Amino acid sequence: MGGKLPFEQLLKKDPSAPCTGQFYMINHHKDRRNTSIRRGPPPRQVPAAENPPWRLQRILAQSGLASRRKAEDLIRQGRVIVDGRVVTQLGLKIIPSEHRIEVDGRLLASPESKAYYLFNKPKGVLSTLQDPQGRPTIKDFLSQSRIKERLFPVGRLDWDAEGLMLLTNDGEMAQTLQHPRFQVPKTYRVKIRGIPSLDSLRRLQAGIRLPIGKKHQADWEMVKTGIDRSWLLITIREGEKHQVKNMLAAIGHPVITLKRVALGPLTLGRLAPGEMRSLTTQEIQALKGQDPTFPTY
């Protein structure tokens, strides 16, 4: 799924604002994990799936369980059971919703019932599915897409912010990604007023107590500075409302613009505002890797 949605009709302005997507390195000083953001190839546009029946290995791959090749290995190894019978041949085509598929004794969730999309929420759009005041929401974009599943957004993004949002119908995954226990990193490219001193930036790193009480910590990377503006990458592992804006305001450098460029292993890449695409199998697997309780094969 891909392609530009009629964003201009929703916002009545030019949707083709450039998605900068420069190459940045983020210093995660604390855990030193390799979480660099790379420009990389443009995101793969996955075509909308045609109707089943589908090959068994494809069904396994689409469920996010394994790559297509690994799924074939699972079948050959006799680890896949369809309606109580072990299947070891690769040619079997079935309609997933009509059969019971087990892998290593675990029931496979129907691939039709799980969908994962990456959306670049534009500025001026609410990150919800409805608004009593009738302002544009993510729902407007979903209604105009060909996506059949009932997706919901994972987490929130301010009305005036843009960037990466995960849309899914996988409640378990959504909960995992938002649970504080998993500390899933979220990276924002922000433009702020002024040029912060190293001391101020170190305060972000050390943790800032916001008026709501809790101490919040952020990793930062200075991208560039202008005369009286700076551009930074800020990574947080919680998701308090207005957290990045509040933290930067607390060190005296209010945010002018904010764009989420990464969520856990997902990066926005060159997806333009208003566009969405389905996640690749690798991305789904990487997401599931965020939770050690997810089965991995």
Point out which span in 30-38, 113-121, 243-251, 264-272 binds ligand URA (CB under 6 A): 243-251
Contact flag: residue 242 with ligand URA (CB under 6 A): yes
The yes-or-no answer on residue 199 being catalytic is no
Which of 55, 58, 123, 245 binds ligand URA (CB under 6 A)? It is 245
By the rule CB under 6 A, 244 interacts with ligand URA: yes
Residue 234 near residue 167 (C-beta atoms within 8 A):
no
CA-nearest of 258, 229, 235, 251 to 27 is 235
Token duo for residue 36: 């660099």
Q: Binding residues for ligand URA, how many (CB under 6 A)?
A: 8
Assess 157 for contact with ligand URA (CB under 6 A). yes
* Contacting range for ligand URA; rule: CB under 6 A; set: 28-36, 37-45, 154-162, 284-292: 154-162
User: Which residue out of 14, 158, 170, 199 is catalytically annotated?
Assistant: 158
Residue whose CB is less far from ligand URA, 20 or 97: 20
Q: Kindly give the residue spans of alpha helices, DSSP state H, lying in 121-242.
A: 138-143, 171-178, 198-206
**Cα(156)–Cα(186) distance, integer angstroms:** 12
Q: 221, 159, 165, 157: which is closest to 189 by C-alpha?
A: 221
158 binds ligand URA (CB under 6 A): yes
- Position among 243, 278, 281, 285 found at the interface with ligand URA (CB under 6 A): 243
Rounded Cα distance, 158 and 121, in Å: 10
Question: Distance between alpha carbon 149 and the CA centroid of its chain, in Å?
Answer: 17
Active-site positions? 158
Please give the residue ranges that form the binding site for ligand URA (CB under 6 A). Answer: 157-158, 161, 242-245, 258
